[in-house]
Chains A and B, each alone.
Chain A
């Protein structure tokens, strides 16, 4: 009964979405405020029904109701409660339900918080949001119904894919989806603005908080996915340029560009056409990402569905929404008035450079990911595009981008003074040179690019700090002045400083990990010792134990430094009988400051020895710490007064009609 109720709730949500797709548009055309306001109520009700459907499926999972096919295929009665809840989105049908849950939640949030929006813009925005929702409700109900029952109820479930039984994976998909789907809000706003036929700085101000929220979630989601791959896949790598990773990187790159171009639009009322285009493209890339992962076009760890019918359906959604919105853009964009003038050397100019490089990087990932597919379809040639290609093409794009980061915030709007900025960045440049020299002195000349990477990271960090030093009149040396001006700085400035500083942190982590990562691959017998970077690990023996739904072989290692035992590490291998003996590698990680020892277990030999792979990864945690700090910067910016303080709630009034 519970599954049927959930199914029914989803059908009701579809019905509401259909109403919301049509009524606000008619209302806006006829000037009927009532019809337009109807969208607010339907958006809330839609969210209510999808949440109900989602909650009911969760109940099926928690109670291990294996008569529901989706639960049977992805759950197990002995699984810990947490994974019972999270395995809902560890499969195709459930994750699509999560997708529409988040989509409808964003619709409801706009309905609630969009009080300052002009009624007709809001109505059209919610209508567009509902068009997207309708497509995905139909997709779920017609091709991927998670509530389908089995005729005979099996006694036990098939269990969740073992590599997905992990805390990192419990939070990774929801964050990623919050990011992907969050950009649906900016997409809907962009299409609504095109339908309205007018767009201005106020539009950017309304949309910016939504861009920020989506960007923060996507940043966390991508970072989380990277960290999960790092510790769960057992190879010690943190980015593989896997097509599925690329699918999340593309919206991140264009979303980051959008975040910056929206600033220009808000402050200076320029780059309007470009910002609208980016808003459309970012969500389109999210849809492409969903298509790539969900259609089974690419098969990888992440692909749960390989049903071509679903692929065709998503492709159809893709064509309709991307094609439709771009056609609308082509029709309406020439009507949008360009804003003010600016010199090439100016804050606007630097943000244009940011957008140029980020978009190029995004295009590179796009072409690199899809080229093999397209080539194979067209000519039958099979080629591979992997990490070596992206490493070669990404560096030349990101080095100038990172070099330019400290300049942007220091340049004035309209017309900047590049010599003045260079002077103000002399201190940061000096810090960077000291960093290069110190790295050369400490680490030698191999690898030769590493010291420059460190120097660049320090330049980015010191540059962010010089921005804030400049603003608080640090050189005045008067503590009172500094404190007063620091308190007076808008939070968005602090947000920028923090996010840019974090970029330097991530870069430093990447450079350290790739340049000075030490590795040992060795077979050890009990009591034998392996050493890496001053740590001695002694193999103490193997224990086997039984977990809730797996058996585990763990090897125990004592970790010593200068003869003193500081910790033990227990890498293990897990075997899941319910999944035909599928094995996962559970690497052991020992965190020392920001560096980590990474120990992963391999084969055992006939003589009782085990193979281990041991890494010392210096400052590796900076990679993800940088992402977290970036998000904190975003949060600070989001809490800025100018985004928080809305207009007083407008009284009901007649709407000015857009001139036709």
Chain B
């Protein structure tokens, strides 16, 4: 009897043994606007025991606890900002997938702009150098010219093979 029962239960046991699921049915709030807010907040919060997963994606039990907590706070009438502040106060800044702008994250947030400005500066300086230097053509040696010809690149018309598209409008 016990064995029979065990056989019947096997599929259920297998499923139950599997990791918990990201957002589960019983977590979903009745109020769809509130649920949408909960999902948006969840995708900004990190599941601390996972690798780079938001609590919205994660199957870990901790993520479920956090999802429930987010919904609890929303039900209590918190604003999005308040919910996030609450989570940060409780779990530290590590919980945020998008760090807040502060002194220790200044370089992170400035990185794209700094990289862009550095690149722009490089371009401007090299453009200036380029136009400052007289456009001097260093002639090819006879050997190089022959070799270029051999490669199929006529030095007389450097753009041979390239469709002409220089007509002005």
Query: B-contacting residues of A (Cβ < 8 Å)?
Result: 116, 202, 205, 235, 237, 240-243, 267, 270, 298-301, 337-338, 340-341, 344, 352, 356-357, 359-361, 363-364, 367-368, 371, 375, 379, 381-389, 392-393, 396-397, 410, 412-413, 417, 419-421, 423-424, 470-471, 488-490, 493, 521-523, 542, 544, 551, 553, 573, 575, 581, 583, 602-604, 606, 610-611, 613, 641-642, 645-648, 650, 656
Partner of A371, one of B21, B93, B107: B107
Cβ-defined contact, A385 with B108, below 8 A = yes
Residues in B whose Cβ lies below 8 Å from that of A413: 159, 166
Q: Does B60 contact A (CB under 8 A)?
A: no
Are the C-beta atoms of A471 and B163 separated by less than 8 Å? Answer: yes
Cβ contact within 8 Å between B143 and A656: yes
B155, chain A: closest CB distance, angstroms: 10
In the complex, A222→B130 CA distance in Å? Answer: 38
A205 CB contacts on chain B under 8 angstroms: 151, 153
Binding site for A on B (CB under 8 A): 10-12, 14-25, 28, 43-44, 46, 51-54, 57, 92-99, 104-105, 107-108, 111-112, 115-116, 119-120, 123, 126-127, 129-131, 133, 135, 138, 143, 147-148, 150-153, 158-159, 161-163, 165-166, 168-169
A-B contact pairs, 23 of them (CB 8 A): A116-B151, A202-B153, A205-B151, A242-B52, A301-B51, A340-B135, A359-B115, A361-B112, A368-B108, A371-B108, A381-B93, A384-B52, A384-B95, A384-B96, A389-B98, A471-B165, A489-B163, A542-B11, A583-B19, A603-B24, A604-B15, A610-B15, A647-B147
Q: B150 and A648: CB pair below 8 A?
A: yes
Write the nearest CB–CB distance from B156 to chain A, whole angstroms: 15
A231 to B23, CA, bound (A): 18
Q: Which 9 A-B pairs have the closest CB atoms?
A: A420-B169, A386-B97, A602-B21, A388-B98, A363-B115, A367-B111, A604-B15, A300-B51, A647-B150
Query: What A residues does B104 contact at CB under 8 A?
Result: 375, 379, 381, 383
Q: How far is the CA of A345 from the CA of B43 in the complex (A)?
A: 42
Whether B127 and A344, one on each chain, are in contact in the complex, defined by CB atoms closer than 8 angstroms, is yes
B112 near A383 (CB under 8 angstroms)? Answer: no
Which residue of chain B has its CB nearest to the CB of A362? B115
Contact B119 A523 (CB under 8 A): no
B130 touches A553 (CB 8 A): no
* Nearest chain B CB to A556 CB, angstrom units: 13
Please name all residues of chain A whose beta carbon is closer than 8 Å to the beta carbon of B127 when the two chains form the complex: 344
Q: Which residues of B contact A647 (CB under 8 A)?
A: 147, 150-152
Cross-chain contact of B169 among A300, A417, A613 (Cβ < 8 A): A417
B28 contacts A360, C-beta separation under 8 Å: no
Cα A363 to Cα B107 in complex, Å, equals: 12
Among A363, A381, A604, point to the contact of B12 (Cβ < 8 A). Answer: A604
